[in-house]
Amino acid sequence: MSLKSHTIVLPTDEKLRERLRKKLIEYNARISEPGSPWEFQHPELAHKLYHDLRDACYKAHVLEMVLASAEPVDTRSLSLEMAEKYGDAFDLKQFSNACGVIAFYCGNNAKKAIGGTGLPES
């Protein structure tokens, strides 16, 4: 089966899946980190101001969708959903990078995108 460049497929390796679940926990911790500049702001408003928050939100959302889906995740459709949610604050370039990082972590893409810190050890 050939992969379309706009889909992300959950790997079949259970150890890798566990590492991905740990990474999702890490992203969610970044989003709700005490002492962060966005701690006392509504997440959708803070999303407009903070690059680091957008990065964690996009990666967490994409990874959550991949982990929850039995089918390949269509990042084109997902980008439309995110654009609708965040409106003018949606950063397509940053979202595309987040998709590239998650695809790389899932083994779907040989080229790593900018901004990935790597998967936790198993």
| pLDDT tens series, the chain, 122 aa | 345 678 999 999 999 999 999 999 999 999 999 999 999 998 878 988 999 999 999 999 999 999 999 999 999 999 999 999 889 899 999 999 999 999 999 988 656 666 677 888 86
Domains contained in the chain, number: 1
Measured between alpha carbons, how far is 116 from 55 in angstroms, rounded to an integer? 10
Residue 2 lies in a domain: no
Coil, helix or strand at residue 97? helix
Q: Please give the residue range of the domain that contains residue 91.
A: 7-105
Structure tokens at 104: 């790389």
**Residue 77's Cα: distance from chain center in Å?**
14
- Rounded-to-integer distance, Cα 50 and Cα 67, Å: 26
Q: Token pair of 66, please?
A: 């991949």
Query: Is 95 among the domain residues?
Result: yes
Question: What is the pLDDT, as a whole number, of residue 120?
Answer: 85
**Distance between CA 116 and CA 6 in Å, rounded?**
19
Quote the pTM value: 0.89
> What is the predicted pLDDT for the residue at 2?
41
Nearest-angstrom CA–CA distance, 30 and 25: 9
In a domain, 68, yes or no: yes
Residue 115 lies in a domain: no
| pLDDT tens per residue across span 62-95 | 999 999 999 999 999 999 999 998 898 999 999 9
